[in-house]
Amino acid sequence: MVRVGVVGYGTIGKRVADAVALQDDMDLVGVVVRRYDWRASMAVRRGYKLFVSHDADLKSFASRGVEYEGTVDDLLERVDVVVDATPKGVGAKNKQLYEKHEVKAVFEGGEKHEVAGVSFIATRNYDEAYGRRYVRVVSCNTTAIGRVVGALHERIGVRKARVAIMRRAADPWESHRKGIINTVVPTLKVPSHHGPDVRSVIKDLNIVTMAAVGSHNLYHLHMGFIEFREAVSRGDVVEVLEEEPRVVLVRGSDGVAALNTLFELGRDLGRSRGDLYEIPVWEDSIKVEGSEAYLIWMTPNESNVVPDNIDAIRAISMLEKEGRKSVEKTDRTLGVLSKLY
Amino acid sequence: MVRVGVVGYGTIGKRVADAVALQDDMDLVGVVVRRYDWRASMAVRRGYKLFVSHDADLKSFASRGVEYEGTVDDLLERVDVVVDATPKGVGAKNKQLYEKHEVKAVFEGGEKHEVAGVSFIATRNYDEAYGRRYVRVVSCNTTAIGRVVGALHERIGVRKARVAIMRRAADPWESHRKGIINTVVPTLKVPSHHGPDVRSVIKDLNIVTMAAVGSHNLYHLHMGFIEFREAVSRGDVVEVLEEEPRVVLVRGSDGVAALNTLFELGRDLGRSRGDLYEIPVWEDSIKVEGSEAYLIWMTPNESNVVPDNIDAIRAISMLEKEGRKSVEKTDRTLGVLSKLY
């Protein structure tokens, strides 16, 4: 049983905490928050022990007469591994705490590769993270590309992948303070950082990405132009994606028309928060011409990295030697499907 | 002096009518509408004679005590050329009227290539349309790609172009009855029709396109992965686009951050309706790696085909033998710029 702490209780942290709590080989010792507000109260409701960061607003606890279990240092004394799901850049600063308390740590995609030294997508490079002290689970977009394009690369061999990303402007919970209306904002740093980030996991993948932000807050849409080393059939591509864990095929002809349809589908599945962990690829969009495939998929950005976080904990804690087995176990506990419907 | 009629007075028709009225070698005889409403009244305000289609709602005139000049047949007796800017598919039906009255016709991108037999982008294949009876000005997206990628193909030589298109959901004027909120709708017909459509003008261009519709009503955004036959420098790409008519370079570093910025820029230029005729390419987005360039541009979809319509009239009417000269004349009359700012 590995003792786990979660530092940061935002979009990713709260989902990882829930996922850890579902594992029979992990014990969720507690979560670290910065203040007591409605979000922290949700953690309490779930029975999670609250610890406070060094920069916490302690008055927010005192004014409501709420007790906390201890500080982040207290938590770190009681755990073997932390998942650091703090905002971009904070994880790098927290690393010295983890060094001091000699706990292993999983960082998220907001941190630089160098913070952990190993970037991670469970279905791609589990072995590389096995037994390491630190690992970084890459961002939602990078994970999605790593699953879809990475699978095609492993099984068929990609000569060059080109991916256009239409990002969401904000997540639902933060849409009151961040967002754009009625426009598209191109990311003028070309290629976007996603391509190099995928290569931090899949070193031999030739990939280039471009991105733009749209006027919506649900999910990212990716369009991939995937050039293979040799001619392929459409059947080959479909088969690879059908067999790939955490990738599912959906069809516009079944009424799965757009991002919002998938959002509703996630809610109908009855999962916590309506989360999707899988990358849905529109089967009707898959077209092969010679040695190139064109296809469109979606990244459920709030939740798709959650299973990878669980596998990352398992890898660095040496709870499971085989990546395939860890992925299967995680997927069973989270209810990850090979078909959404 | 060529006598011109405009059939259909919507997004394109009204703009083409205005552009025709500005030409010293063309006489705008009148426009054909289906009913008298606020839009038709705008045509009257501009001094354009109204003619009615065969399926017109004549009560809409009678109830307001407004007279019309005649029917579409009356107009066709008085013109040499019509621009058919009716909704998709109506142009093909109207063609028999044009045959009967022996008038030349310019169709729009909503019609199939076969309706005219020649598809047209003024800066690409003016000669092909010269003296023809019918010509089809391709759609906004196709025209934009034809200008940007077509120029790079002509001047450098494209091995394969891949373009991802983020379309607007509706034009501003129709946003009350059409549109999507907070989602992205992928076009599951892959490749999208834009690629083949570009090839109806630029026959030897190897191009593939994918598209999705975003939650906005201003303009389309294109991301292009342009593979050349041999290595190029960034300077080569910038130079071609800088020199290309109807293509302009803009920079995020100058504050031109997104589609809405360009919309405001169009309004500040003081043009009719704030229209942009040029395709703005973000210079900061242009990145060259080996023999491939990556770049992002915008399609001002309501207006970018307007100059091509004028040139199409000139080509089929044999008013000007040289495409370059027609383009220059059109651009002078419309105030098309080589730099927007």
Angstrom distance (rounded) from CA B283 to CA A188: 9
Q: Do A215 and B218 touch (CB under 8 A)?
A: no
Between chain A and chain B, the number of residue pairs with CB atoms below 8 A apart is: 130
For A223-249, letters b (16+ CB in 10 Å) and e give bbbbbbeeebeeebbbebbeebbbbbb
Instruction: Supply the pLDDT for residue A219.
Output: 97
**What is the Cα–Cα distance from A17 to A178, expressed in whole angstroms?**
25
- Whether residue A186 has a cis bond before it, omega within 30° of 0: no
Mean pLDDT, chain B, whole residue set: 98
Closest-CA distance of chain B to residue A255, Å? 12
pLDDT band of residue A87 (cuts 50, 70, 90) is: very high
Q: Tell me which chain B residues have a C-beta less than 8 angstroms from the C-beta of A286.
A: 190
| CA angle B138–B139–B140, rounded 5-degree value | 125
Residue whose entry in the numeric block shows the structure tokens 């003619």: B51
A209 pLDDT band, cuts 50/70/90, is very high
Q: Is A54 a catalytic residue?
A: no
CA–CA distance, A236 with B296 (Å, rounded to integer): 32
- Place B248 in a pLDDT band, splitting at 50, 70 and 90: very high
Among chain A residues, the shortest Cα distance to B179 is held by A182
pLDDT of residue A155: 98
Of the listed A32, A140, A149, A210, which one is catalytic? Answer: A140
Q: How many CB atoms lie within 10 A of CB B57?
A: 15
How far apart, in whole angstroms, are the C-alpha atoms of residue A23 and residue B53? 71
Contact A245, A327 (CB under 8 A): yes
ipTM: 0.94
Q: What is the CATH number of domain A2-138+305-334?
A: 3.40.50.720
Spatial separation of the C-alpha atoms in residues A30 and A51, rounded to whole Å: 7
Closest CA in chain B for residue A287: B190
Average pLDDT of the segment spanning B130-139: 98
The values of phi and psi at residue A50, to 5°, are -95, 135
Reply yes or no: is the peptide bond before residue B280 cis, omega within 30 of 0.
no
State the pLDDT confidence band at B17, using cuts at 50, 70 and 90. very high
Look at residue A88 in the predicted model and tell me its pLDDT.
96
In a mutational test of the A interface, the residue from B159, B210, B287 whose CB has the highest number of chain A CBs within 10 Å is B210
> Which pLDDT belongs to residue A16?
98
How far B68 CA sits from the closest chain A CA (Å)? Answer: 39
Rounded mean pLDDT, B315-320: 98
**Cβ B296–A210 below 8 Å, yes or no?**
yes
pLDDT for position B307: 98
**Environment class of residue B132 by beta-carbon count within 10 Å: exposed (0-12), middle (13-18) or buried (19+)?**
middle
Taking the C-alpha atoms of residue A116 and residue A201, their distance in angstroms, rounded to an integer, is: 12
Q: Please, what's the b/e burial string for A114-126 (b: 16 or more CB within 10 A of its CB; e: otherwise)?
A: ebbebbbbbbbbb
B53-106 confidence digits (pLDDT tens): 999 999 999 999 999 999 999 999 999 999 999 999 999 999 999 999 999 999
pLDDT of A309 reads: 98
Express each pLDDT in A222-276 by its tens digit. 999 999 999 999 999 999 999 999 999 999 999 999 999 999 999 999 999 999 9
At residue A181 the predicted structure's pLDDT band, cuts being 50, 70 and 90, is very high
Take residue B325 and report the two structure tokens written for it.
């000269």
Check the CA dihedral B285-B286-B290-B291 and report its sign: positive
Residue A145: predicted pLDDT: 98
| Beta strands per DSSP E along chain A | 2-7, 26-33, 50-52, 70-71, 81-84, 104-107, 119-120, 134-137, 158-167, 185-186, 207-213, 220-228, 247-250, 279-282, 287-289, 292-299
Residue A217 with chain B: CB contacts under 8 Å:
182
CA distance B53 to A239: 54
Rounded to an integer, the average pLDDT of A141-152 is: 98
CA distance B18 to chain A (A): 27
How far is B328 from A294, CA to CA, in rounded Å?
A: 39
Q: Which residue of A has its CA nearest to B264?
A: A183
Instruction: Give CA–CA dist B290/A205, Å, rounded.
Output: 17
B183 and A259: CB-CB below 8 Å?
yes
Indicate yes or no: CB of B186 within 8 angstroms of CB of A289. Answer: no
Q: Give the nearest chain A residue to B181 (CA atoms).
A: A216
Give the angle subtended at the CA of A129 by the CAs of A126 and A132, to the nearest 5°.
155
- Pick the residue from chain B with its C-alpha nearest to A282: B188
Nearest to A162 among B183, B216, B225 (CB): B225
Map out the domains of chain B as residue ranges.
2-138+305-334, 140-299
The pLDDT assigned to B110 comes to 97
Q: Which of B140, B165, B249, B250 is catalytic?
A: B140
Measure the CA–CA gap between B256 and B298, rounded to whole angstroms. Answer: 12
Specify the CATH architecture of the domain A140-299.
Answer: 2-Layer Sandwich (3.30)
DSSP string, B110-146: TS-HHHHS-EE-HHHHHHHHTT-SEEEEPPHHHHHHH
Query: Cα(first)–Cα(last) distance of chain B, in Å?
Result: 34
Backbone angles phi, psi at A173, to 5 degrees: -65, -25
Beta A207-213 vs A185-186: how paired, if at all? antiparallel
Nearest-angstrom CA–CA distance, A124 and A320: 16
> Which residues share a beta bridge with B31?
B6, B50
Q: How far off is chain B from A17, nearest CA to CA, in Å?
A: 28
CA distances from A16 to A6, A268, A314 (A): 8, 21, 13
Average pLDDT over residues A124-153: 98
Q: For tokens 């779930």, name the residue.
A: A46
Distances (CA, A) of A8 to A34, A83, A311, B22, B121: 8, 8, 19, 63, 55
Hunting for tokens 């987005």 — which residue is that? B285
Comparing CB atoms, the residue among B188, B215, B282 nearest residue A252 is B188
Alpha carbon distances (Å) from B247 to A191, A309, B203: 22, 47, 21
pLDDT at res. B241: 98
Q: Could you say which DSSP state residue B239 is in?
A: H
Cβ <8 Å between B258 and A287: no
Query: Cβ separation of B259 and A285 shorter than 8 Å?
Result: no
Task: Name the packing angle between helices B140-155 and B122-129 (round to 10°).
Answer: 90
Please tell me the predicted confidence (pLDDT) of residue A302. 98
Degrees (nearest 5) of the Cα angle B175, B180, B184?
135
Min Cα distance B64 → chain A (Å) is: 37
A287 chain-B contacts, CB cut-off 8 A? 190-191
Equal fold, B2-138+305-334 vs B140-299 = no
DSSP alpha helix (H) spans, A58-193: 59-62, 72-78, 90-101, 113-116, 122-129, 140-155
